[in-house]
């Protein structure tokens, strides 16, 4: 991995995965242990057959708040992150990136960052390395059409009811802040 850079959201880093290829194909090596501060708990994939699919903005609260390492390994996605950490100088800010199987960018997200994406190409696959187990009772979503005023690049074709009916940003930030008080 080379060229790690910091983004405009505190603690978020972007790295480019290096690959080796020959006439057989390509080999890509992820380095989750060098990015995630805690040992990875799980590896997950999101398979998205349709362009315009929207997922997110998802986050978990303590004690299951997650660090995430995210890469699009096939296709392309418009990736969006939101800072829920009231102690951060970038609290309430959001930013976006294009992740693709071509650019091989890998994003590290610390705890307290909500994440979502919209597929830009059919058959997009997103790879996650996660520091905590999925805990439905500690898992929340911010409404991707709500008060953050995110301009998604495409018409949304598929979005879950859970995502459409997610929390406002301020309600989500409050849930995250309350979880810090009960650690």
Which of 58, 115, 127, 138 does the annotation list as catalytic?
58
C-alpha closest to that of 157 among 122, 112, 110, 108:
122
128 carries an active-site annotation:
yes
Which of 78, 108, 115, 128 does the annotation list as catalytic?
128
Q: How far is CA 146 from CA 60, 94, 150, 157, 175, in A?
A: 19, 13, 8, 17, 17
Distance CA 109, CA 70 (A): 8
User: b/e string for 128-152 if b means 16 or more Cβ within 10 A?
Assistant: bbbbbeeeeebebbbbbebebebeb
Q: Tell me the Ramachandran region of residue 5: left when phi exceeds 0, alpha when psi lies from -120 to 50, beta otherwise.
A: beta
Q: Any idea which residues carry the catalytic annotation?
A: 58, 128
């Amino acid at each position: 991995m080379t060229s790690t850079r910091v983004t405009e959201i505190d603690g978020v880093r972007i790295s480019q995965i290096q690959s080796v290829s020959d006439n057989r194909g390509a080999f890509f090596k992820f380095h989750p242990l060098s990015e995630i501060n805690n040992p990875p708990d799980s590896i997950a994939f999101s398979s998205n057959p349709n362009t315009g699919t929207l997922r997110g903005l998802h986050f978990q609260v303590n004690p299951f708040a997650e660090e995430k390492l995210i890469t699009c390994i096939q296709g392309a996605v418009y990736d969006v992150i939101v800072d829920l950490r009231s102690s951060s100088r970038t609290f309430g800010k959001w930013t976006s990136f294009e992740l693709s199987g071509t650019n091989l960018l890998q994003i590290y997200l610390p705890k307290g960052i909500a994440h979502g994406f919209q597929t830009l190409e059919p058959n997009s696959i997103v790879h996650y390395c996660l520091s905590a187990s999925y805990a439905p009772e500690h898992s929340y979503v911010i409404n991707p059409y709500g008060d953050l005023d995110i301009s998604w690049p495409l018409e949304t074709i598929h979005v879950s009811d859970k995502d459409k009916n997610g929390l406002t940003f301020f309600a989500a930030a409050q849930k995250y802040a309350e979880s810090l008080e009960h650690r």
